[in-house]
Copies of this chain bind each other. A is one copy, B any other.
């Protein structure tokens, strides 16, 4: 919980960035050591393995996302506002998303091919969004079952837009699709 240790936090922060920007498999301890300014050997004091490091990275992201969603929930005065807030968050990350893809989605794609345990941890982050969005759709009056369908549909549309924008390096594509998603949201969430 508490990060009394100096380097542990720096390692996690660097790993979080590099795993995202370069991919998990493609990031070596040498890369991490250079980025974090911590020698390779030190890594194994804090984490038994590279997998465990990814676990810690996912834990940190999980905590951040959970905190962000709490803030949104407190700020948004209507469910419509909350849903809109989600799309705006994606928009605000456009540049990174076009350059590197979705940090959760691309990791899920990479891990999906193997490593079932880590995949579960990554999915837990996605689940935070699913549950939060489901709650907003429920507040709008949608039955629980359908609210979850809509939440996953919203996430699927965002994921797809990011995949295509990333593939083509096309920021305009991402913005355009997000606008279309907002329009679709308005239909599901009459004011």
List chain A positions with a Cβ less than 8 A from chain B: 21-23, 25-26, 100-101, 105-106, 108-110, 112-114, 122-123, 126, 149, 152-153, 155-161, 163-164, 166-168, 173, 176-177, 180
Q: List 18 A-B contacts (CB under 8 A).
A: A21-B113, A22-B114, A100-B112, A108-B163, A108-B166, A108-B167, A109-B109, A112-B167, A152-B173, A153-B177, A153-B180, A155-B160, A156-B160, A156-B164, A156-B177, A158-B160, A159-B159, A159-B163
User: Residue A157 contacts which of B22, B110, B126, B156 (CB distance < 8 angstroms)?
Assistant: B156
Residue of B nearest to A127 (CB): B168
User: Residue A110 contacts which of B110, B152, B153, B155 (CB distance < 8 angstroms)?
Assistant: B110
Q: Is the CB of B163 within 8 A of A23?
A: no
Q: Is the CB of A112 within 8 A of B108?
A: no
A163-B163 contact given A110-B23, A173-B152, CB 8 Å threshold: yes
Q: Bound complex: CA of A112 vs CA of B23, how far in Å?
A: 10
Number of copies: 2
Q: Is the CB of A152 within 8 A of B123?
A: no
User: Residue A161 contacts which of B101, B112, B156 (CB distance < 8 angstroms)?
Assistant: B156
User: Residue A149 contacts which of B113, B122, B176 (CB distance < 8 angstroms)?
Assistant: B176
Q: Bound complex: CA of A176 vs CA of B112, how far in Å?
A: 21
Residue of B nearest to A170 (CB): B152
Residue of B nearest to A100 (CB): B113
